[in-house]
């Protein structure tokens, strides 16, 4: 039986005040979700912060001979359900609060998709766009050495994230195997196929986004192929989403990267864009007429897919958004204030903890395959992913209708409940 909510919690005695901080906003949403579900204050106190956070300093010998020391983090949100799982990002804007918030979001994704994991996240403050491959390798290996005591196939399983890829996962896998002195493919996911990676992993997040777009369109009685799509961000997820949607017969009318966006209401040549894209997702530098990202987000379209960074749709531009459906492929692209505006406008929003969860779902498949030593075809992986995505989306939509809440709040309620129940059964509260 769920515990009754404490009146002090309802009154907001310990409720965090919302601001532009991604961690504070996440805690506020977790608080509201637990309140609506009727859980007690100690449950929130356990779940509002990661159980463990490690800060590391990583000295790296750079190509010019000097030693640069990088700061990295690993946040482990909760292990009441099982080992923790989450990506590692290389980015100059990595912060401790961001990594904490991302670890909570990973828990929510795992809860929504019934994965036997808790959330985790890692990050290193760096700009890999200015680093050689050798420098990136030394940094990746140094990070694994620094966190090796708290990660592993039964503790915490890393994966790729912003500006990391199968090559970086391979270096990390090799370093961990050297430290442990045995081969351990289940330590990390997103690996190259030859090292135990899963078929379908590279496109899994983007494919999940496509399933979300299709299901969202269906709820409005529309066919995905009849809709016009804009994608903000042309990294791994954005570029693959453009490719997959284009192959499905969908007209992609806008794409953007860090420099700005290009837009054509008659449709863009996706393959041409992919041919011109560099390894960091930059493509607009090949075009003379580029609009700002602020201008890009408010162009007319049917489906908008934010696939870049946090806080892109805000109170300043939310009322100008012309899409009828938003599928969040990035983590935290919409601020809470903007969320309320979009909800009031009747825009159907598929939140990030559902929209981009294809990656962690197929990472789970990879871990299962590593552990059992038997590997699936790409068709099997994609079929399993589609089933889990469709079931989870329908569950979120049903919960939103049942409790008369936004789809984001419904996602938080569905995602946090397994953890509240697990810590209750374990006797933590």
Q: What is the pLDDT of residue 20?
A: 61
Average pLDDT of adjacent 10-residue blocks, the chain of 429 residues:
39 47 92 96 97 98 98 98 97 96 96 97 97 98 98 97 94 97 94 96 94 95 95 93 95 93 94 87 85 94 93 94 96 92 95 95 97 96 97 96 95 98 97
Residues of the chain with CATH 3.40.50.10860: 49-183
Contact of 255 with 279, CB cutoff 8 Å: no
Contact of 274 with 243, CB cutoff 8 Å: yes
Phi, psi of 322 (to 5 degrees): -105, -5
* CA–CA dist 89, 60 (Å, integer): 17
Out of 48, 121, 191, 251, which one is annotated catalytic?
Answer: 121
Residue 97 burial class via C-beta count within 10 angstroms: exposed 0-12, middle 13-18, buried 19 and up: middle
Contact of 26 with 412, CB cutoff 8 Å: no
Q: What is the pLDDT of residue 219?
A: 93
Up-side HSE of residue 198: CA atoms within 13 Å toward CB? 33
Closest by alpha carbon to 167, among 195, 198, 187?
195
For tokens 């799509």, the residue is 229
Q: What is the CATH class of 49-183?
A: alpha beta
Strands in 185-338 per DSSP E: 228-232, 251-257, 260-263, 303-306, 325-327
Instruction: State the CB neighbour count (10 A cutoff) for residue 211.
Output: 25
Residues of the chain with CATH 3.40.50.720: 204-356
Q: What is the pLDDT of residue 285?
A: 85
* CA–CA dist 205, 178 (Å, integer): 30
Q: What is the pLDDT of residue 11?
A: 36
Alpha carbon of residue 89 to chain centroid: 11
| Rg over CA atoms, the chain | 21
Contact of 416 with 2, CB cutoff 8 Å: no
Question: How are beta strands 228-232 and 303-306 bridged, if at all?
Answer: parallel
Q: Could you tell me the fold of the domain covering 204-356?
A: Rossmann fold (3.40.50)
Q: What is the pLDDT of residue 4?
A: 41
The question of whether 121 is a catalytic residue gets the answer yes
Phi, psi of 68 (to 5 degrees): -110, 135
Q: What is the pLDDT of residue 287?
A: 86
Contact of 250 with 209, CB cutoff 8 Å: no
Q: What is the pLDDT of residue 12?
A: 43
Q: What is the pLDDT of residue 134?
A: 98
pTM of the model: 0.90
């Amino acid at each position: 039986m769920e515990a009754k909510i404490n009146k002090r919690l309802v009154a907001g005695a310990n409720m965090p005040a919302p601001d532009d901080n991604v961690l504070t906003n996440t805690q506020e949403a977790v608080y509201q979700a637990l309140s609506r579900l009727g859980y007690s204050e100690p449950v929130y106190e356990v779940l509002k912060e990661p159980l463990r956070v490690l800060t590391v300093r990583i000295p790296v010998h750079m190509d010019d001979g000097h030693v640069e020391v990088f700061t990295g983090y690993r946040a482990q949100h909760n292990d009441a359900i099982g080992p923790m799982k989450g990506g590692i990002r290389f980015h100059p804007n990595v912060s401790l609060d961001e990594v904490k918030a991302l670890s909570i979001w990973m828990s929510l994704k795992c809860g929504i998709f019934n994965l036997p994991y808790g959330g985790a996240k890692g990050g290193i403050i760096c700009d890999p766009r200015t680093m050689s491959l050798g420098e990136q390798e030394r940094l990746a290996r140094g990070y694994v050495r620094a966190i090796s005591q708290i990660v592993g196939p039964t503790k915490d399983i890393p994966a790729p994230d912003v500006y990391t890829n199968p090559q970086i996962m391979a270096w990390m896998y090799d370093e961990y195997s050297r430290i442990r002195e045995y081969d351990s493919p289940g330590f990390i996911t997103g690996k190259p196929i030859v090292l135990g990676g899963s078929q379908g992993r590279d496109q899994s997040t983007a494919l999940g986004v496509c399933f979300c777009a299709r299901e969202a369109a269906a709820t409005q009685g529309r066919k995905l192929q009849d809709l016009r799509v804009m994608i903000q961000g042309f990294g791994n997820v954005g570029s693959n989403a453009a490719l997959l949607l284009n192959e499905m017969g969908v007209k992609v009318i806008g794409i953007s990267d860090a420099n700005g966006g290009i837009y054509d209401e008659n449709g863009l040549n996706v393959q041409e864009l992919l041919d011109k894209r560099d390894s960091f997702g930059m493509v607009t530098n090949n075009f003379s007429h580029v609009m700002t990202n602020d201008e890009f987000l408010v162009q007319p379209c049917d489906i908008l897919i934010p696939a870049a960074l946090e806080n892109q749709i805000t109170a300043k531009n939310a009322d100008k958004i012309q899409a009828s459906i938003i599928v969040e492929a990035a983590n935290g692209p919409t601020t809470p204030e903007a969320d309320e505006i979009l909800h009031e406008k009747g825009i159907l929003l598929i939140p990030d903890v559902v929209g981009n969860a294809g990656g962690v779902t197929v990472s789970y498949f990879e871990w299962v395959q590593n552990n059992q030593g038997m590997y699936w075809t790409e068709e099997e992986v994609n079929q399993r992913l589609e089933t889990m995505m469709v079931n989870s989306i329908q569950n979120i939509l049903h919960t939103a209708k049942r409790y008369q809440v936004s789809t984001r709040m419904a996602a938080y309620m569905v995602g946090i409940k397994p953890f509240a129940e697990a810590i209750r059964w374990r006797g933590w509260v």
